[in-house]
Amino acid sequence: MSGKPKVLIVDDEERFRTTMAKLLTVNGLEVTAVGSGKDALEELKAKPYDVITLDIRMPGMSGLEALAEIKKVNPGIEVIILTGHASVDTAMEIMKLGGYEYLLKPTSTEELMNKIDAAFERKLTREQKTRKGEGS
Amino acid sequence: MGFRQSVLPYIASILICLCAVILAFTGSFGFAVAGIFLAALALVTTRKLLEKIATANEQACFLDEKLVQSQKLASIGELSAGIGHEINNPLAIISQETEWMQHILKRIGEKDSKEVTELQDSLKEVLHQVDRCREITQNLLDFARRKDPVFQEVNVNKLIEDLSRLVEKEAILHQIEIRRDFQQDLPLVHTDAPSLRQVVLNLLTNATHAVQKDGKIRIATKSSQNGSVDIIVEDTGCGIPKDHLVKIFDPFFTTKPEGKGTGLGLSICHGIVDKLGGRISVSSEVGKGSTFVVTLPVNQQRGTRPS
């Protein structure tokens, strides 16, 4: 795997996103945290990211709406839904919208790190394939 | 049946009888016989009609009760979902803060003093209890999702394929292979898709837990001539001992270590499949693996089961 993924945390709960950012940072990731779907879209315009962790229930733009918008702006980015509000049907909806995975809160940092690594690996593999396709 | 309803037919037939007697005294014997016959007929018919009215009234009361009951259950369901969701968020913060404290302790606790070891032990316990709470909220959410099924035509192969992909992401990490063996011309099944998803997801998740690294899971579909469809989930896991097989669908029966399973998954599955008019069965051999078969009627009629 080349380098570490750049991760964007999107969660309206401030304490959650700041501590999560600290935990992921001490595990060697480059992390930014924002509090809404709108801020996430702004952040994506300013900087490239590899993986996003996204809450579903947020005031204003919901996580699922944000996911659809994010995929329009950057289809290659991997999105992990991290929420206390998930069901099998929500998981299906997330997959249809192009989300990579969903995790039910509370989850351990180790579990989240595994998902982020797997999502990043998938992104890199897809990019390599695209490059090969363009080269041939 | 009320007083008026039970007395009315008798009054009517007595009146007709009286008419018959009067007719007999006036010399029309034939009319009298006919009158008595009519009286008997009136008695029987009126009673039958009144019985039907009473049954309809009882049924209306029963439906009213059912409506109130289902409204109550829906409120409890909404409340449970609300509690489940709202608790999950603070639990996530407790869990993270604990992990952060563990991280800080690791940094400062190089001397490994007795106090530091005790603190580490306490924090580990906090995380263990968070896991327990998570199980509880998950059960609350499962309970909240138990609604009356909405039957529609469902492409079972597609439903299973979507779920297999979902589970595969986790399975790949443990080198577990999920093999699909779908009957291509499987008929559409008249069933409730969200409920069926819950059952299949539960069986697939259980199978991934049962098989070790490099294990195999086979998920198959097939239809039979008696108008049913089988969903088969087969694993090469540790298998289930015979004495456990009979209890496998009992609520709270689990072989997982304490705190790892609530023993409600298969019991909920059994309840759902029953509600969908189907049945679920299991066969297993210790050391070789287990096979779960969900049999669903293609055309669900309430209360009927595939033979």
Q: pLDDT digit string (tens) for B260-279?
A: 555 667 878 888 888 888 99
Residues of A in contact with B96 (CB under 8 A): 16, 19-20, 23, 106, 109
Q: What is the mean pLDDT of residues B284-296?
A: 92
Cα A15 to the center of its chain, rounded Å: 18
Whether residue B303 has pLDDT greater than 50: no
What structural domains and CATH numbers belong to chain A? 6-135 (3.40.50.2300)
Report the gap between the CA of A108 and the closest CA in chain B (Å): 7
Enter the tokens of residue A67.
Answer: 């996911």
The predicted-structure confidence for B67-99, as pLDDT tens digits, reads as follows 665 566 556 666 767 777 788 889 999 999 999
CA distance B235 to B25: 90
Nearest to A93 by CA among A105, A84, A102, A106: A102
**Does the interface ipTM go beyond 0.90?**
no
Percent of chain B predicted with pLDDT > 70: 73
Task: List residues bridging with B179 in a β-sheet.
Answer: B218
In this predicted model, what pLDDT tens digit does every residue of B16-28 receive, in sequence order?
667 666 666 666 6
Total-model pTM: 0.57
pLDDT at B304: 43
Quote the tokens at residue B205.
Answer: 């998740």
Q: Does A125 touch chain B (CB under 8 A)?
A: no
Q: Would the pLDDT of B307 be above 90?
A: no
pLDDT reported for residue A113: 94
Nearest residue on chain A to B133, judged by CA atoms? Answer: A106
Q: Determine the 3-state secondary structure of B247 from DSSP.
A: coil
Question: How far is it, in rounded angstroms, from Cα B181 to Cα B204?
Answer: 14
The better pLDDT of the pair B301, B134 is held by B134
Q: Which two tokens stand for residue B182?
A: 């779908």
pLDDT value at residue B165:
86
Task: State residue B306's pLDDT score.
Answer: 44
More confident residue, B219 or B136: B219
Residue found by looking up tokens 């008798």 in the block: B10
Neighbouring C-beta atoms of residue A13, cutoff 10 Å: 18
**Is pLDDT larger for residue B42 or for residue B76?**
B42
Q: Which residues from B are below 8 Å from A92, CB to CB?
A: 162, 166, 197
- Residue B229: count other Cβ atoms within 10 Å of its Cβ: 24
Nearest to A109 among B87, B99, B145 (CB): B99
pLDDT by residue (tens digit) across B247-262? 778 766 666 655 455 5
B91 → closest Cβ in A57, A95, A106: A106
Each residue's pLDDT, cut to its tens digit, for chain A (136 residues) gives: 458 899 999 999 999 999 999 999 999 999 999 999 999 999 999 999 999 999 988 888 999 999 999 999 899 999 999 888 766 677 777 877 888 888 888 999 998 999 999 899 989 988 888 877 776 6
Residue A32 — φ and ψ, nearest 5°? -130, 145
Which chain B residues contact residue A109 at CB under 8 A? 96, 99
